[in-house]
Amino acid sequence: MKLSKKSEYGLRALLELTLAYGTATLQRHDIAARQHIPVEFLEQILLALKRAGLLASRRGMKGGYTLIKSPEEITLGQVIRILDGPLAPISCVSKTAYQKCRDCPYANKPQCPVQHAMGPVRDAIAGILDHYTLADFTSGHHHN
Amino acid sequence: MKLSKKSEYGLRALLELTLAYGTATLQRHDIAARQHIPVEFLEQILLALKRAGLLASRRGMKGGYTLIKSPEEITLGQVIRILDGPLAPISCVSKTAYQKCRDCPYANKPQCPVQHAMGPVRDAIAGILDHYTLADFTSGHHHN
DNA sequence: GAATTCTTGACTAACTCAGTCGGAATTAGA
DNA sequence: TCTAATTCCGACTGAGTTAGTCAAGAATTC
């Protein structure tokens, strides 16, 4: 039931990139310093977000990262799925990464009690996180 | 965001114990066989649930485990907290195990964006799991 | 006292998490 | 063209967690 550091750092990094959206590109060390994230670890995260199509980057002097989509289009659910995998507490109730549970005596049967309990949990989590955008995430936030 | 095998097995074991509630005591190997759980691993789980006050046990021949409280009084939230720890996705929004996040630039400040997003998630999860009892969990279930 | 069952504690192999490191590729500016 | 700055990529690591396994001890019944 836990959010990894990777996702937490990823969200905080995207917060900075959202604040800079349209006006500036940010470098690893800028983000790392503002959010107190180890720079080499942050790098991995930014690369993953880039591969997933959320960020663009430039190398060399004056390089850095920028958001490639508008903050209203990116949800926390997307980000967490990229960095941490599926939101569902158990894969037999996942919608984005469903997997039949093997060795469960109720697998396949219509009334698996675990699914019955965890389905609504996954829907509640996804219902919040898939409607919460980076714009929402940043609103109310002012630097220093 | 994931439920451990420990919790999953624990819930499935409690399902069997709920079905037997008031009529029989179950032994490790009964539960293990019905739910396809490795018996030595199940043992740890049952012991933890016993220490937490949900189960009673007897040793020796004709021994076994029984539910000590009625199924309406035990929620999935309680069980998962015993076996997996807090439900909150991040400890700074936990109500049962709050911890200030260190090294977060927003720690203490009233408007931490991560808390703002994850607070409702933790409330949604707890809202479901703390109202879902073993009685609900078992309803609609009939053996074979 | 023998068989059965829970109890306790230690042990382990595999995996994940949270980084760290070294070097290669790209770009800007001198 | 040279150099400094920056991203990119892969490998590596130490600590901790997960999912068990195992052996020996204590209680209970027959």
Long-range contacts of B127-131 (CB under 8 A, 24+ apart): B127/A124, B128/A117, B128/A120, B128/A121, B128/A124, B129/A117, B129/A121, B129/B75, B129/B76, B129/B77, B129/B80, B129/B87, B130/B75, B130/B76, B130/B77, B130/B78, B131/B75
Give the per-residue pLDDT at B104: 82
pTM assigned to the model:
0.95
pLDDT higher than 80, residue B107: no
Residues facing residue A133 across a β-bridge: A75
* Residues B55-68 pLDDT 10s: 999 999 999 999 99
Mean pLDDT of chain B: 94
Q: Indicate yes or no: CB of A104 within 8 angstroms of CB of B36.
A: yes
Give the per-residue pLDDT at A143: 56
Residues facing residue B75 across a β-bridge: B133
Give the per-residue pLDDT at A105: 81
In the block, which residue shows the tokens 């029984």?
B66
Neighbours of A34 (CB within 10 A): 17
| Among A6-10, B81-85, B140-144, the least confident range | B140-144
Q: Are B79 and B14 in contact (CB under 8 A)?
A: yes
Beta-strand relationship, A64-67 and B55-58 = unpaired
Paired tokens of B136: 């609900």
Distance from the A36 Cα atom to the nearest Cα atom in chain B, whole angstroms? 6
- Closest nucleotide to the alpha carbon of B29, via C1': C5
Bigger pLDDT: B142 or B140? Answer: B140
Q: Is the CB of B95 under 7 A from strand C?
A: no
* Residues B32-55 pLDDT 10s: 999 999 999 999 999 999 999 999
- Which nucleotides of strand D are protein-proximal, with an atom < 7 A from a CB? 4-11, 18-23, 25-30
Specify the amino acid at residue A113: P
Give the per-residue pLDDT at A103: 77
Neighbours of B40 (CB within 10 A): 9
Query: Which residues in chain A (110-139) have CB-CB distances under 8 A to chain B?
Result: 111, 113-114, 116-118, 120-121, 124-125, 127-129, 132, 136-138
Residue from B72, B42, B79 nearest B57 by CA? B42
**How confident is residue B144, by pLDDT bands cut at 50, 70 and 90?**
very low
- B21's CB contacts (< 8 A; 6+ apart) are B66, B67, B70, B71
Phi-psi region of B64 (alpha: psi -120 to 50; beta: other; left: phi over 0): left
| Dist. CA B92–CA B101, nearest whole Å | 6
Which sign, positive or negative, has the C-alpha torsion B79, A1, A73, A135?
Answer: positive
Q: Are B17 and B23 in contact (CB under 8 A)?
A: no
Give the per-residue pLDDT at A144: 44
Give the per-residue pLDDT at A101: 82
Bigger pLDDT: B142 or A69? Answer: A69
Paired tokens of A81: 């799925």
Per-residue pLDDT of chain A (144 residues; tens, 9 = 90+): 899 999 999 999 999 999 999 999 999 999 999 999 999 999 999 999 999 999 999 999 999 999 999 999 999 999 999 999 999 999 999 999 999 887 788 866 677 899 999 999 999 999 999 999 999 999 966 554
Specify the amino acid at residue A29: H
